[in-house]
Each structure stands twice: as structure tokens, then as C-alpha cells.
Chains A and B, each alone.
Chain A
Amino acid sequence: EAGVTQFPSHSVIEKGQTVTLRCDPISGHDNLYWYRRVMGKEIKFLLHFVKESKQDESGMPNNRFLAERTGGTYSTLKVQPAELEDSGVYFCASSTRIASSPLHFGNGTRLTVT
């Protein structure tokens, strides 16, 4: 089966610009998560979708971040306007069930805001 794919792999933008990250989960995985790792720090949860519904978005840092999951398939994470502190690696993961199934991660998107 195809794994979780993320696009782009790298993005370099200027402060104030907009960037949209995309994640395609494994087919049939209802759960989709976004995480990020800011330089040298821990991997922090951003939000969780079950199918097309946001189940938990308590980790979203502020209203400059907007996530969507169209029709319960792929997801996008938009940052608008980007700030310097948004730089880091954004990971997407999917799983079949929340509590007991393993997470499958994409390769991440490395975002650099200059």
C-alpha cells in the first residue's frame, strides 16, 4: 500500500507570505493528525481529523493556521501570514483507529520562514 505522502518536501517563504501544506493519508485511514517539530524541540500535536471532521484542534498555535480535510481524504494546512517562529518540520500521520493502531507518518514538510 502507498504510505502517507506530504507535499512539498521543502518550502522557503518570506515572513508575511502564505504557504499551504498537503497530506495524503493511507487510503482507508479515517484518522489524520498534524504535528510539527520546531528546531531542536519536541514534536507537538497540532490537530486531529476523523474523516472530514476536526476532532481536536487544541494544538493549533493561533488563527494564522487553518486546516481542512476535504471529503475525508487529503488534508491541507495553511499558514497565513507566516511568521519566523513557524519554521520547522510539519508531519502528517494517519491511522485506522485512535487508541490502538499504529501511526504512519509522512516524510514531513520542512518549512523555512525568512
Chain B
Amino acid sequence: GIQVEQSPPDLILQEGANSTLRCNFSDSVNNLQWFHQNPWGQLINLFYIPSGTKQNGRLSATTVATERYSLLYISSSQTTDSGVYFCAVSGGSYIPTFGRGTSLIVHP
């Protein structure tokens, strides 16, 4: 199956800092999504971004499909950004597959 690697596995920030999370994948994909699992365990869809760049408030994402990676940018981080960030990819006959996630803690 397709391999999905996320980095870094853990990230600790002070409120107001910026960060970049990365998702590498091993094959061509038709779909890539970024999710945030909040402290209540819910998976919140952040971006559907098989290619290109999108922005939503303090968050933005870029996927370079030809180079098989995606980046999630968090600017001016807030404590409410804490949680685990997952990317999930699918393509061809691949079942949507998640990376192991990046655990983010934002301190006040």
C-alpha cells in the first residue's frame, strides 16, 4: 500500500509562533486531506488539497503532487491549535491512508 510519513512527530510551541508540518507520500495520489484531531477526539477537516495552495485564516497548505509532499503552515499559533494533525492520502485503488500524525502542544 501507499506509505505516508509525517514530520515532526511532536512539536511544542509558544503561543504566537509559526510552524510547518510536513507530509510525504510514496506514490501518486488523487486526494490529500489535512485533519486536526482536537482534545475531544473529533477529526476536523482542515483542507482538501490534492495539489496547489489553499489558505484558511491562520492556516495554509501546499501540496506538490509531483514531488509527493504536502505542507501545513500554522501562523501565530494559539493554544486552541493544540492536538494531533493528520494527513490522509488516497489515489488509484488505494484506500485512504493516514500518516502517524504530528502532536502539537501550544503553550500560553
Contacts and interface: CB of A to CB of B under 8 A. Distances in A.
Contacts of A100: 30-31, 50
Given A89-B41, A104-B45, A110-B41, A99 B90 contact: yes
Contact of B33 (A56, A91, A103): A103
Interface stretch (A13-21, A42-50, A66-74): A42-50
A99 B41 contact: no
Given A99-B31, A100-B50, A103-B33, A108 B95 contact: no
Interface residues of A, number: 24
A102 B47 CA distance: 9
Contacts, number: 58
Contact-residue bracket for chain B:
20 to 34
Contact of A108 (B42, B93, B98, B99): B42
Nearest to A98: B90
B37, B43, B99 — most chain A CB neighbours (10 Å): B43
A103 B96 contact: yes
A102 B48 contact: yes
B96 A33 contact: yes
Contacts of A23: none
27 contacts: A33-B95, A35-B98, A37-B37, A42-B98, A42-B99, A42-B100, A43-B98, A45-B98, A56-B95, A89-B41, A91-B43, A93-B96, A98-B93, A98-B95, A99-B30, A99-B91, A99-B92, A99-B94, A100-B30, A102-B31, A102-B33, A102-B45, A102-B48, A103-B88, A105-B43, A107-B43, A108-B42
Interface of B: 30-31, 33, 35, 37, 41-43, 45, 48, 50, 86, 88, 90-101
Interface of A: 33, 35, 37, 41-45, 48, 56, 89, 91, 93, 98-105, 107-108, 110
